[in-house]
Copies of this chain bind each other. A is one copy, B any other.
Amino acid sequence: MSRIPAGLQSRVMSAEQAARLITSGMTLGMSGFTLVGYPKAIPGALAASGHAKNLTLCTGASVGDDMDGVMAQAGIIKRRYSYQSNKSMRTLINDGSIGYIDMHLSHVPTFINRRMGGIHIDMAVIECAVITEEGLIPAASMGASDAFVRMADKVIVELNETIPLDIVGMHDVFEIGTPPHARPIPIVHPLDRIGVNFIPCPPEKIAAIVVTDRQDKSPSFTEPNEVSRVIGRNIVGFLRQEVEAGRLPENLLPLQSGVGAVANAVLQAFADGGFRDLTMYTETFQDSALDLLDRGIVLGATTCAVSFSEAAQKRFYGNLAAYREKLILRSQELSNNPEVIRRLGLISMNTPIEVDIYGNVNSTHIAGSAVMNGIGGSGDFTRNAALNIFATESIGKKGAISCIVPMVSHVDHTEHDTQIVVTEQGVADLRWKIPQERAELLIENCAHPDYRPMLRDYLAQARKTAKSQHTPHDLKQALSWHQRFLETGSMK
């Protein structure tokens, strides 16, 4: 199978030549999600050349350092949309050099497809495995690539020859349409295929093809430590109780699991938890999920992207034809869509930065001002899941920070949205609990013992000073823990 149709061979060019098609002030829609499937040649060429400045860079979610890091450091990015997790990018965002808009991942393609607020993608830059007469077969991540290709004036394809051709058939691309002509998404099971296996793209829209052979860099997740393992066991124990109480089926409901070490550890715990015949409907698919798939504990999954260690990556690409039967790659407009999430009734599991005593969750900001990564899909999943779980260690920075605080310094998920909070200390089930009950559960079950007396003191003081006993706060002290951390380096 040829990766490029005969009629398009003439558009093959070097990364340097293709980069010249991008000019200052353009808005770029680039592929990539959880460090997988992002362009690896054009970003470097743009950075080296420096001819195009003041770029607006829009991606589905996080991309590798050889894209976000390289372009940020070259000083050619003016604005960055929707999600990032790169150290250089984050530094320049927080020092005010790069403007950053942190969005719900489901909103990104939806808003672009609808030209919401006049947004226009000048150029899409998409890593692909194959180009056909009908369109593009992407890498092992979908992100918002379908929306970028649909709405961009022109498309530059990075054709990555290291991606095995067996990836053809793994994607599922479905055009929802825009109001007043949008249509229902007919997914009623995580493994329902509803569309085509390529991103539609007329050949004349392809402005350049750059052939590459660079593989995705594997993310470096820290190995699960004992604390993460305890968190995982606490979650599994809680779900086991829900099954025993007849509130969840034996094989649970489709799982969504966030990114990172805690998420990885949590899924590992499922293997030991005795669950079987699980499914997943998620935006990222990590090593531990692949293990569950290999062991037959997870029957199949929808994901927006894979995100593997080097060893898992090798296993995955070596057996693509087999995984194709059990794994569907969908765009974030589908993987994160409230319609499907609510219908399937997911169990969502995400990692907060901090949770306050009333259940408000901060997923994005340190001490109110500095952004970390972004909200990602956590809002899409949490609000619409059948059961949502926020899992974190109870303390950070060796105890200098409590993850349970009087008032979060930034709210990404409101008290109306949070159901279950889990730390290594225990589980707080906030469902049908009034604010003061939530506070007691979070303090006694989830906070670290070192911080419990301080939290009890805050609550007592708030009860004494507040004009209302519904959600008592002492506004003078509510953010004092963060202020103390800024001044002394510790919340204590």
| A104 proximity list for chain B (CB < 8 A) | 383, 416-417
Q: Is B180 a contact partner of A189 (Cβ separation < 8 A)?
A: yes
Tell me the smallest distance from the CB of A329 to a CB of chain B, in Å. 22
Task: Choose from B375, B411, B475 the contact partner of A411 (Cβ within 8 Å).
Answer: B411
A166-202 to B contact mask, C-beta < 8 Å, 1/0: 0000000000101110111110110000000000000
A386 within 8 A of B: yes
Q: Is A386 a contact partner of B116 (Cβ separation < 8 A)?
A: yes
Question: In whole angstroms, how far apart are the Cα atoms of A433 and B101 in the complex?
Answer: 7
Task: Choose from B99, B102, B184, B343 the contact partner of A188 (Cβ within 8 Å).
Answer: B184
A 439-472 contacts with B by CB, 8 A: 462, 466-472
Q: Is A338 a contact partner of B342 (Cβ separation < 8 A)?
A: yes
| A100 proximity list for chain B (CB < 8 A) | 434, 470
A23 within 8 A of B: no
Question: In whole angstroms, how far apart are the Cα atoms of A184 and B470 in the complex?
Answer: 38
Q: Is A471 a contact partner of B343 (Cβ separation < 8 A)?
A: no
Tell me the smallest distance from the CB of A239 to a CB of chain B, in Å. 13
| A115 proximity list for chain B (CB < 8 A) | 247
A47 within 8 A of B: no
A78-101 to B contact mask, C-beta < 8 Å, 1/0: 010100000000000111100111
| A179 proximity list for chain B (CB < 8 A) | 253, 343-345, 386
Task: Choose from B93, B178, B253 the contact partner of A470 (Cβ within 8 Å).
Answer: B93
Task: Choose from B99, B182, B253, B470 the contact partner of A344 (Cβ within 8 Å).
Answer: B182
Q: Is B379 a contact partner of A180 (Cβ separation < 8 A)?
A: no
| A178 proximity list for chain B (CB < 8 A) | 345
Tell me the smallest distance from the CB of A397 to a CB of chain B, in Å. 15
Given contacts A188-B184, A342-B110, A478-B479, contact A96 B416 (CB under 8 A): no
A312 within 8 A of B: no
Tell me the smallest distance from the CB of A421 to a CB of chain B, in Å. 14
A330 within 8 A of B: no
Given contacts A184-B184, A343-B183, contact A468 B431 (CB under 8 A): no
Q: Is B345 a contact partner of A478 (Cβ separation < 8 A)?
A: no
Tell me the smallest distance from the CB of A82 to a CB of chain B, in Å. 10
Tell me the smallest distance from the CB of A113 to a CB of chain B, in Å. 11
Supply 17 A–B pairs (Cβ within 8 Å), ascending by A: A94-B470, A104-B417, A111-B431, A117-B247, A117-B419, A117-B431, A176-B343, A179-B343, A182-B344, A183-B343, A184-B185, A338-B383, A367-B467, A368-B466, A379-B383, A475-B486, A479-B479
The 3 A-B residue pairs whose C-beta atoms are closest, nearest first, are A179-B345, A96-B469, A117-B431
A residues with a Cβ closer than 8 A to B are: 79, 81, 93-96, 99-104, 107, 110-111, 114-119, 176, 178-180, 182-186, 188-189, 245, 247, 249, 253, 337-339, 342-345, 360, 365-371, 375, 379, 383-384, 386-387, 407, 409-417, 419, 429, 431-434, 436-437, 462, 466-473, 475-476, 478-479, 482-483, 486
